[in-house]
Amino acid sequence: MFKKRKPTAVLTYLSRTCEVEGNVHAEGKLVVDGIIHGIVDIQGDLDISKTGLVEGQEVRANNITVEGVLKARVFAEGKLVLMSTARLEGDVIAGSLEIEPGAYYTGYIETRESKTLPPSRDLPELYGTNATEATGTSTGNRTSA
């Protein structure tokens, strides 16, 4: 008789004329065109537009896309994307990372998923040196002059 409704995606929008002083916790997607000063904890995705500013101790979300300014320690379970207009100041731990040319970033970055790391390759042998000397180990006796 009654059909189950599919849960709708929850969208929280902070307009460019809005400023929040304090911590923000939300489920779903948060789009920031305004300003947030405080800890941001999103059970979903976070988008910071060109006019957006998020400044606080910590920002947590699944996927984070930055076109504006983000000043915080950042934890992205999934992907962190810095668009060309982005300015990020803070340390980052993310599943994966994408940085467009023109984006500004200062801080430490760590990716957590091994699949995001490039495949390791053997280093090429250096020409004109013995491979054991290049690694700092020696099997023979050396004399000094």
Residue given tokens 């320690």 in the structure block: 73
Record the pTM. 0.73
Name the pLDDT band for 139 (thresholds 50, 70, 90): very low
Task: Report the candidate in 4, 77, 66, 6 with the shortest Cα–Cα distance to residue 36.
Answer: 66
Please give the Cα distance from 53 to 70 (Å, whole number).
6
Q: State the pLDDT at residue 112.
A: 79
Residue pair 73/57 in contact by the 8 Å Cβ criterion: yes
Q: Give the pair of three-digit tokens for residue 73.
A: 């320690």
Please give the Cα distance from 80 to 91 (Å, whole number).
12
Query: Going by DSSP bridges, is the β-strand pair 46-48/29-32 parallel, antiparallel, or unpaired?
Result: parallel
Average pLDDT over residues 21-25: 95
Q: Mean pLDDT, the chain, as a whole number?
A: 82
Q: State the pLDDT at residue 136.
A: 45
pLDDT tens column, 109-124: 988 764 544 554 554 5
The DSSP 8-state label assigned to residue 59 in this structure reads E
| Bigger pLDDT: 137 vs 96 | 96
